[in-house]
């Protein structure tokens, strides 16, 4: 049974992994045996995260690139594979949030959300998949959101992007499953992360969330690791195009 979930001798690239959910997932994959490739745009933050992860005994490399830049992504992924070997697992985690009423939402921020939350999944997913297809195997895990299924005031464009991530995941599975790839998504509920700092620090919102969520609390980023290891491992060899909600039950209740 342990072999089903082992990631020994596999390499995982996690985008947006210098902090928050991305860093937690990278650490969890390392603990399952994977060699880790951290990604981000800020080289300083990336180096600090890599040093911290190496302190746990993980094997770590840094790969700085802008996930919204198609040409830069292709160059980085192709160069890494040529120099260091296969990327067996991709976790598309890079993302951003911007909150304001829809009638006042700046057009430039809408475009930035589309590029960061959707286009990056396409760019990095395609670049990695081209190598995975040639090898006949690979795992792609896209980080969706509870907003893939639900909406709430002030974040309509974010909800749009996460709905797109859910459908892009289905499209990846539809095109690439026949080549031996499993493409799935994890949809976190409300987690205590830098992206949600404003909400975590809002007593009124936290009280509402605790009442709205059957589990009665914010999620801890470490609680996403099990889902990520499952979808990265042989245990999920016939799971494809699926969005796994890790949300304390919020999407199951009204």
pLDDT tens track, the chain, 254 positions: 789 999 999 999 999 999 999 999 999 999 999 999 999 999 999 999 999 999 999 999 999 999 999 999 999 999 999 999 999 999 999 999 999 999 999 999 999 999 999 999 999 999 999 999 999 999 999 999 999 999 999 999 999 999 999 999 999 999 999 999 999 999 999 999 887 888 999 999 999 999 999 999 999 999 999 999 999 999 999 999 999 999 999 999 98
What is the DSSP code (8-state) at residue 191?
A: B
Residue 197's pLDDT is what? 87
Residue 186 has a pLDDT of 98
List, in order, residues 6 or more apart from 131 with CB less than 8 Å away: 77, 78, 81, 86, 87, 138
pLDDT, position 193: 86
Give the strand order in the sheet containing 35-38: 60-62, 35-38, 11-14, 89-92, 138-143, 181-188, 243-246
Domain boundaries, the chain: 2-245
| pLDDT score at 240 | 98
Position 254 scores a pLDDT of 86
Neighbouring residues of 126: CB distance < 8 A, sequence distance ≥ 6: none
Local structure of 113: helix, strand or coil: helix
Confirm whether 158 is a catalytic residue.
yes
Choosing from 23, 158, 190, 245, which is the catalytic residue? 158
For the domain 2-245, what is the CATH code?
Answer: 3.40.50.720
Q: How far apart are CA 15 and CA 136, in angstroms?
A: 23
């Amino acid at each position: 049974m342990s072999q089903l979930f082992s990631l020994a001798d596999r390499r995982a690239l996690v985008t947006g992994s210098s902090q928050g959910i991305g860093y937690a997932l990278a650490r969890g994959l390392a603990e399952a045996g994977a060699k880790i490739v951290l990604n981000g745009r800020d080289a300083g933050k990336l180096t600090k995260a890599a040093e911290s992860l190496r302190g746990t005994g993980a094997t770590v490399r840094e790969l700085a690139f802008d996930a919204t830049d198609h040409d830069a992504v292709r160059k980085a992924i192709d160069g890494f594979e040529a120099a260091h070997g296969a990327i067996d697992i991709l976790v598309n985690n890079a993302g951003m949030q911007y909150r304001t009423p829809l009638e006042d939402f700046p057009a430039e921020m809408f475009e930035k959300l589309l590029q960061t939350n959707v286009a990056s999944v396409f760019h990095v997913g395609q670049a990695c998949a081209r190598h995975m297809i040639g090898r006949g195997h690979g795992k792609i895990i896209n980080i969706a959101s509870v907003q893939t299924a639900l909406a709430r005031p002030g974040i309509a464009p974010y909800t749009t992007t996460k709905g797109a991530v859910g459908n892009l995941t289905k499209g990846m599975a539809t095109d690439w499953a026949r080549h031996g790839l499993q493409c799935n998504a994890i949809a976190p509920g409300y987690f205590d992360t830098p992206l949600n700092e404003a909400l975590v620090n809002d007593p009124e919102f936290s009280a509402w969330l605790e009442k709205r969520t059957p589990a009665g609390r914010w999620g801890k980023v470490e609680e996403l690791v099990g889902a990520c290891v499952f979808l990265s491992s042989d245990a999920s060899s016939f799971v494809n195009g699926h969005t796994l909600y890790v949300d304390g039950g919020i999407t199951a209740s009204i």
